[in-house]
Structure 1
Amino acid sequence: MKKTLVSALTTALVVGAASTTFAAANPFSDVPADHWAYDAVSQLAADGVIEGYGDTTFRGNQNITRYEMAQMVAKAMAKSDVSAADKALIDKLAAEFSDELNNLGVRVANLERNADKVKWNGLVEYTYTSTRHDAGTTDKERKLNDNDLTFRLEPKAEVNKNWDVHARLDADTKLDSDKGGLYDGKVELKRVWAEGHYDNFNVKLGKLPNAINLLSTTDDPYSGAAVTFGNDLKVTLEAGRLDATQFIDMGRDIKGQWKDNIFKDDDDTVNFQAINIGYAKNKFYGNMGYEHMDGAMLDVDKLVKPYTNDNDSEYKANIWFANAGYRFDHNSFFKAEYAKNTKADNYDDAYSFEYDYKGAQQQNKGSWGMYLAYRKLGQYAAPWSTYGDGVDGGQKGWEVGTGYTLFKNVQLFAKYFNGKDIAADKDAEKLFGRVDVFF
């Protein structure tokens, strides 16, 4: 009799344990209709502790899965202002659905961790420009207004403790005509690169911004690699391929207008190499370096003046540059830059002097700044300068500007250029306005 009873109890325990194990192994199996958990959650729902299916109801007449039950229990466990009786029910439910809660917790933790690895920034940018060229012969050449809108996304994803991935996506449209601009309103992948960070060493691979010589070329990208060594004193090496159709300032004509691509079709990509030695500490920074480009063919008939005295069609550039800046105090900053293209025989140098006072800070509502600059940008030394919001390549003159942070992440900018188109030696002006909304 005793043996029979022991055998029966053992069998019951094994079967019970097995059934619990099997149920836990499949979190999407229904909780049996006669399971005590239904009474427990019904009581918790009546007490306002459990909100049921997310629509503030609990459908007690319908079977639910163990996973759904665990979701309700997890929400109840997050409540702190519950009665002792309800707390006891919650603890009992937590013990019953511990496997599902653990799995749910791991899933949520992983999602949170992965979400932290990808960060999105972006902006909506409205730009107004009004240009004047006395050298123009038609109304459109003498005066041109543009209203442009840009939408930009810039994701950054962490790969591991040393590496991350960056990208930039832009879409542009012209508000005057309600049509796309240069890229017809389509989203374009402007940049994408992987970056590795190590002690006194940084490496970038992909389609990345050129940030060495902004007097001659903008921060728009090339495809290749960049490595930087050092701390206060840094050496940067860059190499890759660059789309020369970006060099629109090289094509400025005698009327002060941009021409279409001045490079031969299907032969408009250049090999690009650069080196920069930079030093920055306390209030001072300085850089000196060299850029070499070759491999593309010029359409010499489109040039306002020969690139070389021999009117060579093969494009080669050796651009030597230097820049320095000094911050006198919290409000005052002065910088100077110079570049010389020793392969060009005309329009072969560029320089800029700029004084900055204060500055508009993106996160600081009410902050503002202004600057005054004089720039001369010979178009063969500055084929696509980052200063194009005011003085363009192929122009020289005075530029004044201001910036103001209207609200946190909302900034206003205005710039005015007054000078000359270098080739025509006639007056030119530009009024520039911009609104940036960051997110």
Structure 2
Amino acid sequence: MKKTLATTLTTALVIGAASTTFAAANPFSDVPADHWAYDAVTQLAQDGVIEGYGDTTFRGNQSITRYEMAQMVAKAMARTDVSASDKALIDKLAAEFSDELSNLGVRVANLERNADKVKWTGEARYRYWSNRVEDREASKHNGDGKDKQNKDTLLFRLYATGEINDNWRVVGRLDATTNMTSDNGGSGKTDNVKLTRIFAQGDYTNFQVRLGKQPFFSTETNGLLFDDNFSGAGITFGKQLKATIEAGRWNLEKADEVVAAAAGKKDTAANYQGIMLNYAPNKLTLGAGYRHLGSDAFKGVDSYSNSKDVANREDSAQIWSLGAAYRFDRNWNLEGAYAENTKADNFKTAHNIQLSYKGANRANAGSWGMYAAYRYLGENVAVNSTYDTFLNNTKGWDFGVDYTPLKNTYAAVWYFDGKQLANDKSAKVLYGRLSYYF
């Protein structure tokens, strides 16, 4: 342990001493000018990174504990006006004493973020769908009426995170999609680059604030209802029991096919308010949620209300949801969810139960997983499910396998075999995906 400490200090101090030549008064009586670390110690003292002891001594030969050293490093990390050479020295020390700093409540990640205020990450994703829906109705499903529809797309996704200060950051996401069948963005669009997220996030102890276009995900049901983005504000607070309150506007373009088609004729966005509760004390996870969506688009959905008079149809959705999950061990996980839209007259419930084994970890080559699930997805409640095998207004079995062939890669094959809720006819989806992360 002492050898590791001595080696780290020696390397760091030599780097600091070699990076700058200067003349300064000797602040420590026990560090002579001919000492090998004189320049480095004097430079760091002049910059206020180290202070020594109150009797003007540095006591460089005195043994110190790793926690004492970590306290010195933590003090250095808190400074923002250090030179580039000092910054490099502090980075090396922070890496060496990361465990002790963590126990002291100092996040080395904060230091890493300060070294580079803006970080970029991304993904290149290929996806393939083969949908086989018997007697598909083009007038209701915004499609071409064919029983079989194949689609393959390329997605380039770029994330940017910019640090504002110790608590606040700005997050952005750019998505560029190409439909490989028509070599454009799909639906006749040639401009397929979108700023899908841009929001400011403030992180405090057991409290988080988000402002802007941000993730819209039904965490309490693990994505049974929503997986998109909305524009507005959200706050999350709590430790084991977390409450999330959100309000804003949601673009109905990503809703299920029936609602999206009606939105194109009436109102393209819905007013949104929601609250979620999630409790995860150990292996058990529990969640509940309520969401209100208001839009004239709902009046244009024939299956949404039995009323023949469009003017008297409901223009809002009130969705209640419950979810639970239990992790038996490192490999097996069982989850389920239920949701209902109390404002709808038809196809107003959705539920899901899924058993998962392991799971592919993109950072761990060779890792893999599989799942089996039964899903019931009423189109007036499960309007934007996270499942890539999602077909609105269907029920059936869903199976999948995923695998990490190489580090930072992800491959998956999923298959859905079910029935349409409206006519009890066949609905099948074969889905494949290959992703590269950078």
Q: TM-score, normalised by structure 1?
A: 0.70
Determine if contact 1:150/1:171 at 8 Å carries over to the other structure. Answer: yes
- Residues 29-87 of structure 1 show CA distances to partners (whole Å, capped at 9, x for unaligned) of xxxxxxxxxxxxxxxxxxxxxxxxxxxxxxxxxxxxxxxxxxxxx9xx669xxxxxxxx
Q: Does residue 177 of structure 2 align to residue 172 of structure 1?
A: yes
**2:199 paired residue among 183, 193, 198:** 193
Aligned letter for 1:281? P
| Displacement of 1:110 | 9.0
Residue range with higher mean Cα deviation, 112-121 or 270-279: 112-121
Structure 2 unaligned spans of 5+: 1-14, 21-38, 40-46, 48-81, 89-111, 139-143
Aligned to 1:320: 320
Query: What are the within-5 Å matches in structure 2 for residues 251-330 of structure 1?
Result: 251=259, 261-263=261-263, 265=265, 267-298=267-298, 300=300, 303=301, 305-309=303-307, 312-330=312-330
Task: Select 1:244's aligned residue among 244, 248, 252.
Answer: 252
Give the structure 2 partner of residue 397 of structure 1.
396
The 8 Å contact of residues 400 and 413 in structure 2, kept in 1 or not, is answered as: yes
Contact between 2:127 and 2:153, CA under 8 Å: does it hold in 1? Answer: yes
SS of alignment partner, residue 290 of structure 1: strand
Looking at structure 2, the residues matched to 78 and 159 of structure 1 have their Cα atoms a distance apart, in angstroms, of 29
Q: Which amino acid aligns with 1:121?
A: T
- 2:408 equivalent to 1:409: yes
Shift in alpha-carbon separation, 1:430–1:234, aligned structure 2, 3 A:
same
CA root-mean-square deviation: 2.9
2:190 matches 1:184:
yes
CA-to-partner distance for each residue in 1:186-213, whole Å, 9 max, x for gaps?
3200011111111111111110111235
SS at match of 1:245: helix
1:141 is paired with a residue of what secondary structure?
coil
Query: Contact 1:250/1:384 (CA < 8 Å) preserved in 2?
Result: no
* Cα distance in 2 for residues equivalent to 1:269 and 1:319: 17
1:117-136 aligned within 5 A: 117-136=117-136
CA distance in 1, matches of 2:304, 2:247: 27
Please list, as runs of the form range in 1=range in 2, the aligned pairs for 1:335-374 lying within 5 A after superposition. 335-374=335-374
The question of whether the paired residues in 2 share the 8 Å contact of 1:131 and 1:431 is answered with yes
Q: Secondary structure at the match of 1:210?
A: strand
Tell me which residue corresponds to 1:143.
Answer: 148
Structure 1 residue 419, shift from structure 2 partner: 0.4
8 Å Cα contact 2:249-2:270 kept in structure 1: yes
Pairing 1:205–2:211 present: yes
- The residue identity in structure 2 corresponding to 1:401 is G
Give me the whole-angstrom Cα distance separating, in 2, the residues matched to 1:244 and 1:137.
Answer: 21
Number of aligned positions between the proteins = 333
- The one-letter amino acid of 2:344's match is A
- Cα separation, 1, equivalents of 2:343 and 2:137: 32
User: For the residues of structure 1 that align with 2:175 and 2:86, how far apart are their CA atoms?
Assistant: 33
| Structure 2 contact 307–313 (Cα < 8 Å) conserved | no
| 1:232 maps onto 2:240 in alignment | yes
Counterpart mapping for 1:30-49 below 5 A: none
C-alpha displacement of 1:406: 0.7
Letter in 1 for 2:359: G
* Contact preservation (8 Å) 2:123, 2:156: yes
Q: Does the Cα contact within 8 Å between 1:331 and 1:358 map onto a contact in 2? A: yes
- What is residue 379 of structure 2 aligned with on the other side? 379
Unaligned runs of 5+ in 1: 1-73, 80-93, 95-101, 252-259
| Identity over aligned pairs, percent | 41
CA distance in 1, matches of 2:126, 2:315: 35
- Specify the SS of the correspondent of 2:261: coil
Amino acid at match of 1:367: S
Q: 2 CA distance for matches of 1:222 and 1:191?
A: 9
| CA deviation after TM superposition for structure 1 residue 421, in Å | 1.4
Matched with 2:68 is none
Q: Which residue in the other structure is 1:48 paired with?
A: none
Q: 1:307 corresponds to which letter in structure 2?
A: S
Q: Give the distance between the partners of 1:180 and 1:264, measured in 2 at CA.
A: 18
Deviation, 1:436, is 0.6
User: In the alignment, what sits opposite 2:94?
Assistant: none
Task: Give how far 1:308 is off.
Answer: 4.5
Cα offset for 1:217? 3.5
Cα drift, residue 214 of structure 1 = 5.0
Normalising by the residue count of structure 2, what TM-score does the alignment of the two structures yield? Answer: 0.70
